[in-house]
Structure 1
Amino acid sequence: MTVAGSTGPVMSREEVDRALARLASEHEAIEASLLALQDHAGRRLLEGTALSGLTKERWASVEPVIPALWDHFEVYGAALRTARELRGDRRWPPSGDLARLTRTLRGDGVTVPGGVLPDVGHDAPGDPVLLPEPIGLERLAERMNDWYAEVIAVVTAADAVWSALPARIDLLSAEARRVESLARSVGVRPSEHPAGDDLEQLIAELAALRAEVVADPLAYWLPAKGRRAGGGRPDTRRYERAERELEDIRREVEAVLHVREDAEHRLMRLRDVLSRADRTLTEARSARGEVLARIAGSVVPAVSGPSAALHERLAVAVGYHRAGHWHRLSPLLDDLEEQADEELQRARASLTAVTAPLAVRAELRGRLDAYKARAIRQGTADDPLLMERYDQARRLLWSAPCDLRAAESAVLRFQEAVAEAPAAEGAADGGGTEG
């Protein structure tokens, strides 16, 4: 095998043909990529935007690569055409031609133009190589692919962030402005309501976020791990956090809005509940006087008056309603409704407590009448003992004041006597008359 100096073994005819075909395909692919890069929206935005931060640094690093890529591509195309002409269509090319082709394809038979090699993707990063530089077509294709990968990674990442975030931020900002308008209509304003302060801060945060995304999109790019350059996705975490905050604020504002819509009905219900509580307490006080007058020896709890504090707070709520201070009315109504319901329950409990002796007396009267009816049915109503015990219990229950303990004992004695008395001979159910 013929040796071609430092380039290694001379390539065979088949190897040369395969290499030329592959490099021709590479030429077409690189040309298509460079043309696409030339027209890429991300590239135009990077060139026309006042960049900052990481994006400014990365773009300053890769932007000079683009003209260098075109220069190298022209050299690559010319060298490829020369190599194909040298190969020609001869079936058995001379060994000298194969040696020259080997040097062009794999050695140092191509010279790139003079200048400074961009500090991206070459063999010694951070150490620019002065040109002209002898190189082979295969190595030149690899270099251009490496450079292109570096450039397109920056361009596509910036374009992906610009495509994903600014429009969404604009929509969220518009929604925040709509919520702000709604909030102001119900009195939710900065320095007057926490939600107003939060909304003001959120609108400012969205404006700052948009400015940062536009000026430094790569700061909002999350590179994919374990993938080649260019993989990744936009970092939307800050946007999503703002989105959640706006949703919380919107719900709070809508709650205040619902207060405005339901305030009249809720105030009417509050007035009704407090009125019923007052009437119940009045009834309880009246019943207490009746119990003290009619039931002897009963311990009857005192009955308090209406809650002045609740009525005062209701008046404040009415004032908020008239003034349209819905954000202040909302928590006040919630609290008042709970306390008014508790006040009504307290009034009902007071009425139940003070009327308990009357309920006991009514139960004893009913029991006495029931056992009197039983005595009539079994034909023992004329029994002297039963008549005596019945009259005694009746006098105690219908006297004023009524001694409940004595009356209960009397009813119990009558009840026992009825249960123990033998039924009269021939008595039928429901027969007989009261003696």
Structure 2
Amino acid sequence: MDREEADRLLARLGAEHEAIETCLLSLQDHAGRGLLEGAELTGVTKERWARAEEAVSLLWTCFDVYTAALESARELRGGSRRPSPDDLAELTRGLRGPAVTVPTEDGSVERIGLAELVDRMNTWYARVLDVVAAAESVWSALPARIDMLSAELQRVRSLAHSVGVRPGEHPAGDELERTTEELTSLRAEVVADPLAFWIPAGGSSAPGGGRPDTERYDRAARALDDIRREIEAVLQVRQDAEQRLMRVRDVLSRADRTLAEARTARGEVLARIAAVDVPAVSGPPTALYEQVAAAAEHRRHARWHRLSPLLESLEERAEEELERARAALTAVTAPLAVRAELRGRLDAYRTRLARQGLADDPLTAERYDIARRLLWSAPCDLRAAEQAVLRYRQAALEAMASATRSVDGTPGGGTPGCGAAGEGSAR
């Protein structure tokens, strides 16, 4: 090298020396390193930190060698404006050649140049910083969040105990116990082996690039949210259990009254309607009333976790029971409804005849009397009564048509209100 080249190289190596010294001092004071040195490590963190500590020792040893070589080169260069060729030759060998002997990671020694030594120290520094920064990131992120979640878990546990949600008695109590154990185990593992919870950034990245793995924490947080919702539902049951039980009893009472009405109606139908099949009416739902009594007992003894699912089932089944009672009443009163319809149709046809002055027509009067006797007799034969009403209707329509022809003087024709439309309006 000539003088200018030597000075430029000395300046660059001097700048490298300052940068490396700054990094080593920063590493020495790094909070993550202090935590690693004082922790009882396990797993992957223990293994990587052991290698990192060896790299730190090598870094300082090589930095001392680098410092001595740089100072020697500066002394050789001195301040002369015209260094001798021998000095330049020695500077070239010292700055560019394999001029220093340094230890290696496998415990041996080798002779390398200063530029290669700088690259090697940079590699070791990046490796150590990656371990230190990753561990600090995990320790900064997860334990505090776990502690906050554990505090929330204790609050939920207190609520759970207040409503009787305990392990072995309610699924939410079992899940609460499992979540507690998971958070305790997770915190211990994070503190002892933080690098097991580190996800490095993909591709090339600076030392410490990546993020903490929060999957287990997130899963525990979701589980606690589910437990909290379950406890809040039980708390809600405690607040409105009395009103809900009263509503269930009211619905069942309405169902009983409807069934009683259906049984009474069935007796009336059997007495008044002949030759029809009337379905039987069941009695009150004894098992359902027993469950209502059990629900009241749970409420009296503050067993809210048992009352909650039972109330939901009772509310649904009580509504079903009321619908069943209404259906039974409709089924048994169907023949009475048919008789009432036939009576209405018979009277409607008679009213139409009376408006036209045809109520005294012998045929229609005879058929009306037959149909009326059948419909107002007990027991009533519905099939015969329906046929009688149809015959009366036919006679009434013929009488009205005949009267219309007599007025018009035409052999045929119709009158408004007769035929299908007239029948529909009469119905």
Of residues 212, 216, 221, the one that matches 2:193 is 216
Of residues 140, 148, 152, the one that matches 1:163 is 140
Aligned residue number for residue 377 of structure 2 = 399
**Alignment partners' CA distance in 1, 2:201 and 2:49:** 20
**Alignment partners' CA distance in 1, 2:290 and 2:92:** 102
Q: Given residue 201 of structure 2, which amino acid in structure 1 is its aligned partner?
A: A
**Alignment partners' CA distance in 1, 2:354 and 2:3:** 135
Three-state SS of the structure 1 residue aligned to 2:211 is strand
Of residues 203, 219, 235, the one that matches 1:241 is 219
How far is 1:245 from its partner? 1.8
Bigger fraction of residues in helix: 2
Aligned residue number for residue 124 of structure 1 = none
- Greater alpha carbon shift after TM alignment, 19-28 vs 304-313: 19-28
**Alignment partners' CA distance in 2, 1:174 and 1:257:** 20
CA 1:111–1:397: 2 relative to 1, 3 Å: same
Contact 1:108 1:135 in 2 (8 A): yes
How far is 1:268 from its partner? 0.8
Q: Given residue 99 of structure 1, which amino acid in structure 2 is its aligned partner?
A: A
Of residues 76, 79, 104, the one that matches 2:66 is 76
Q: Given residue 223 of structure 1, which amino acid in structure 2 is its aligned partner?
A: P
TM-score (ref. length: structure 2): 0.88
1:176 maps to 2:153? yes
How far is 1:305 from its partner? 0.8
Q: Given residue 212 of structure 2, which amino acid in structure 1 is its aligned partner?
A: P
**Alignment partners' CA distance in 2, 1:191 and 1:15:** 81
Of residues 304, 326, 329, the one that matches 1:348 is 326
1:334 maps to 2:312? yes
Contact 1:65 1:118 in 2 (8 A): no
Of residues 21, 24, 29, the one that matches 2:19 is 29
- Per-residue CA deviation, residues 364-403 of structure 1 (Å, 9 max, x unaligned), is 1111122222223344323221222222212211222211
Aligned residue number for residue 228 of structure 2 = 250
TM-score (ref. length: structure 1): 0.87
**Alignment partners' CA distance in 1, 2:10 and 2:274:** 123
- Per-residue CA deviation, residues 112-147 of structure 1 (Å, 9 max, x unaligned), is 5xxxx363xxxxxxx2124xx644321221121111
1:226 maps to 2:216? no
Q: Given residue 129 of structure 2, which amino acid in structure 1 is its aligned partner?
A: I
1:146 maps to 2:136? no
Segments of structure 2 that go 5 or more residues without pairing to the other structure are 409-414, 418-427
- Greater alpha carbon shift after TM alignment, 32-41 vs 281-290: 32-41
Of residues 95, 98, 101, the one that matches 1:108 is 98
**Alignment partners' CA distance in 1, 2:354 and 2:407:** 13
How far is 1:71 from its partner? 3.7
What are the equivalent positions in structure 2 for 1:175-194 lying under 5 Å apart? 175-194=152-171
**Alignment partners' CA distance in 2, 1:94 and 1:362:** 136
Three-state SS of the structure 2 residue aligned to 1:233 is strand
Three-state SS of the structure 1 residue aligned to 2:199 is strand
Segments of structure 1 that go 5 or more residues without pairing to the other structure are 1-10, 120-126, 431-435
Contact 1:377 1:429 in 2 (8 A): no
How far is 1:426 from its partner? 6.4
Q: How many residues align?
A: 407
**Alignment partners' CA distance in 1, 2:168 and 2:343:** 67
Q: CA RMSD in A?
A: 2.3
Three-state SS of the structure 2 residue aligned to 1:355 is helix
CA 1:21–1:376: 2 relative to 1, 3 Å: farther
Aligned residue number for residue 411 of structure 1 = 389
How far is 1:88 from its partner? 5.2
Aligned residue number for residue 425 of structure 2 = none
Aligned residue number for residue 129 of structure 1 = 108
What are the equivalent positions in structure 2 for 1:28-107 lying under 5 Å apart? 28-87=18-77, 93-107=83-97
**Alignment partners' CA distance in 1, 2:204 and 2:277:** 87
Contact 1:106 1:139 in 2 (8 A): no
- Per-residue CA deviation, residues 293-324 of structure 1 (Å, 9 max, x unaligned), is 11122211111110111111110010001111
**Alignment partners' CA distance in 2, 1:12 and 1:304:** 116
How far is 1:191 from its partner? 1.5
How far is 1:212 from its partner? 1.0
Three-state SS of the structure 2 residue aligned to 1:214 is helix
**Alignment partners' CA distance in 1, 2:178 and 2:270:** 65
**Alignment partners' CA distance in 2, 1:309 and 1:30:** 84
**Alignment partners' CA distance in 1, 2:19 and 2:368:** 118
- Per-residue CA deviation, residues 135-180 of structure 1 (Å, 9 max, x unaligned), is 4321221121111112111111111111121111111111211111
CA 1:91–1:387: 2 relative to 1, 3 Å: farther
**Alignment partners' CA distance in 2, 1:33 and 1:356:** 96
Three-state SS of the structure 2 residue aligned to 1:165 is helix
**Alignment partners' CA distance in 2, 1:292 and 1:42:** 92
Contact 1:310 1:336 in 2 (8 A): yes
